[in-house]
Structure 1
Amino acid sequence: MAGLVRLFVVLGTLIFGFVSIPVAQAESGYAAYLDLPSVNGDGAGGGGLNPALPLDPDELLTALDQARAAGIAPRRYATLLHQYWLTIATRNADIDLAAWDPTRGVPANSRTFIQVYVNYLRLNNQHPDYYWVGLAGLAGGSFASGFFDMGDVAGIVSVPGVHQLGSAVADLLRGTPAELTDLLPADIKTLGTEGERLTADDLTWYQTRLMIMQKHIFIDQVPMHEAYAAAGLAGVEEMYRAGVLDENAVTAWREIDGGAPAGLADAALRMTDREQNQIIADQWDVTSSGRGVMGRVMTYVSTVAGKAAVPGALAPGVFAPTTITAGNMALRTPLPDFNWADRDTRWNYITHDLLPRYLELCGNEAVARPVLAEPFTDKLAAGRLMRRLPDLLGDLTAQWQLTT
């Protein structure tokens, strides 16, 4: 009898063990990656979306395929899916995701900073229907270039350059009647009173804030572009079912997939709206309110200095110059009457000048391709504040016009 029992035990082990072992092995590759939150989706830290996930795309794909084969609902593997396409995105962009940490400062991130924009332009040149990445390469880098000198390992634009701008505004304010200065936007007055107090630590903090936002945008936007490049509409539809993308984003991709000119233009608007009003809007709020009044000083200086490398696009101070009147006196300045960090006025500038000019460019391939093919390092150098400072100061002095 004992021998018979042992035989049943052996047979049971063989039968049930044979059945159960593959299930355990199949689950082991993906079970630990289900229901993970995206704890670094805002780009504030190093690495990927969740430290529990590997950074190797092959490992991620194996787990992802297992989850799909097991019929797991996409929302349960959303972060795994997002991380997979993120690692594809950084690999194709020649960016080390493990080392990409904005808090490590500019010197440690200087190459990555450039590669982000180089990659935007690469994607657009390989896929001309990817309008948003072209705009990001032309405009995004231009607005940041005033505060990043990537040819210098220190990475910090000269504080005296900002001091000179603040000092020039202070001198002009002193010669302006109080009735008019009282009506000036607060950002102009703050630049004149506080600009000379800006420190290297302030700039370092601001640069870190910009790098966080840059990574946040990349994390959100580039993986879906790579998913579509590799898997077509099915790739982004899976991201939509997983909750990584919303209705607005998947509609943009359906329009891109359709290929109609009006659809491509609307997709660019939708993606720009996602970037500016969903992804980084709160981070701009935090940045502009940080470091006491210096957050407003730095975001306003970047608005003054910002000139997107989009043919025909106006500098902010030309698009919306500050003009005020008091009684029979009037003052017109070349300084913008808005701050890029503020949502509504930033969106007004984008939708009424920057984006329309860019879409005009996209409508003329013969003009667009050379502009978009220009090396990003050349665009970056052209936009640097220190290079443009003499012209900015000259315009400020010549165009500060008081009439009575």
Structure 2
Amino acid sequence: MLCRELGLHCDDWDTSRGLSCNDHNVVTVYEYYSDLYMRHPELQWAGMAALAGGHVYGGMQDMHVLRKASRDVREQILRRHFPQMPAVLLDALVGATEAEFEFFEDKFVSMHKQIFRDLGWQHMAYDRGGIQEMRRLAAAGQLPRAELDAWEDIASGDPERIANGNEALLYREQKIILQDDYDEMKGHHGLVGLAMTYMMGQTTESPIPGGKPFREVVNEVGTINLPDEICLTPWGPCQSLGDITVRAPFATGNIATFDSRWKWITEDMLPRYQYLLEHEPDRIREEIGRPPHELADESRLIPIGYDPEDGVC
């Protein structure tokens, strides 16, 4: 029913065929998330999914065109645009085969579909029947209690509870739905998977306007423990000190690792998102309402055009 109402091509939604052969479904789902937020501002997860989705869509396009390119072209692009990568990891990407790039492209398309299958129907149920419908689904055993609790928070009208409920859905998305896929990507063919996921973290910008990229949040090298107080002379003056965190100019974690990714989300993305929702609601609403292809164009890194009708499946 959800497929029919949204106009999705569910009969041939085969994620192993890559992006261009599933482009209609990818875009339609991101547009659906945007529409949900526009009509129900308490559906903050949907709004963030629309924002992040545009950036992910751009990443899928980059993966698709790299997969199609010859090895010589891939090497030229990768060495020119990612000089900050450790040489051993860059060499692994340069030497990756078309099939390996296809694996990562297909994996992202699959992750997109998994999120929709898990949370899309819940949002449609809430859209149609509100919290009463979610309670009915829980009573019928179709919605786990923990997820009902999240929806109770979302429907509460209390800003703090609304934020907590949406964060619970986001945690489910990242930890329960996606983490096994991230693990598969990171471990794919040894250094190839490690290189690909490292590059993702090193180059990924925040989908939240004004937010920090992953590399500027997950970049701790260590902590220097200082005395509680330093006095310039035995009789003062004295100054209280705190520990100093040493940070690198590059990511020190891997975005495919849950703890690193969740640190980025909870320490920067969510606080920035909540700030905009409270203080600049018109700005964030306008951003969420932008077409996915516009967000994708701004986030792309590979200077090769993407054609959704290229038939490369």
Task: State if a TM-score over 0.5 links the two structures.
Answer: yes
Q: How does 1:349-388 map to 2 (within 5 A)?
A: 349-363=264-278, 364-386=280-302
Contact conserved, 1:252 with 1:271, CA < 8 A, in 2?
yes
Identity of aligned residues (%): 27
Gaps spanning 5+ residues in structure 2: where?
Answer: 224-245, 305-313
Q: Note if contact 2:201-2:214 (Cα within 8 Å) is conserved in structure 1.
A: yes
Indicate the residue corresponding to 2:20 in structure 1: 107
Partner of 2:243: none
Structure 2 equivalent of residue 221 of structure 1: 119
Residue among 12, 23, 34 paired with 1:121? 34
Report the residue type matching 2:42 in the other structure.
D
Given the alignment, which residue of 316, 338, 347 partners 2:253?
338
Give me the TM-score of the superposition, normalised by structure 1: 0.62
Q: Please, which of 280, 284, 291 is the counterpart of residue 178 of structure 2?
A: 280
CA distance in 2, matches of 1:204, 1:262: 42
Q: How much is the aligned-residue C-alpha RMSD, in angstroms?
A: 2.7
> Per-residue CA shift, 1:198-233, capped at 9, x if unaligned?
233221110101111110000011100100111222
Q: Structure 1: where are the runs of 5+ without partners?
A: 1-86, 171-187, 326-330, 389-404
Corresponding letter in the other structure for 1:96: H
Q: Greater relative contact order (Cα 8 A, min sep 6): structure 1 or 2?
A: 2
- Is residue 2:203 matched to residue 1:305? yes
For 2:68 and 2:134, the matched residues in 1 are separated by 38
Which residue of 1 is the match for residue 43 of structure 2? 130
What is the rounded CA distance, in whole Å, between the counterparts of 1:164 and 1:201 in structure 2? 22
Offset from partner CA, 1:175-216 (integer Å, 9 cap, x none): xxxxxxxxxxxxx46424423212332211101011111100
Secondary structure in structure 1 of the residue aligned to 2:27: helix
Q: How does 1:248-263 map to 2 (within 5 A)?
A: 248-263=146-161
2: CA distance, partners of 1:226 / 1:345 = 31
CA change 1:239–1:279 in 2 (3 A) is: farther
Supply the distance in 2 between the matched residues of 1:214 and 1:379 (Cα, whole angstroms).
16
1:147 aligns with 2:60: yes
CA contact 1:143–1:302 (8 Å) conserved in 2? no
- How big is the shift at 1:163? 4.2
> 2:250 and 2:43 mapped to 1: Cα distance?
33
Question: Over alpha carbons, which structure has the higher Rg?
Answer: 1
Q: Which residue of 2 aligns with 1:76?
A: none
1:273 deviates by: 0.6
Q: Please report the TM-score for the alignment, with normalisation by the length of structure 2.
A: 0.79
In structure 1, the residue matched to 2:241 is: none
Q: Is the 8 A contact 1:322 1:335 kept in 2?
A: no
Q: How does 1:5-404 map to 2 (within 5 A)?
A: 87-88=1-2, 90-149=3-62, 159-160=74-75, 161-165=77-81, 168-169=83-84, 188=86, 190-321=88-219, 323=221, 334-363=249-278, 364-386=280-302
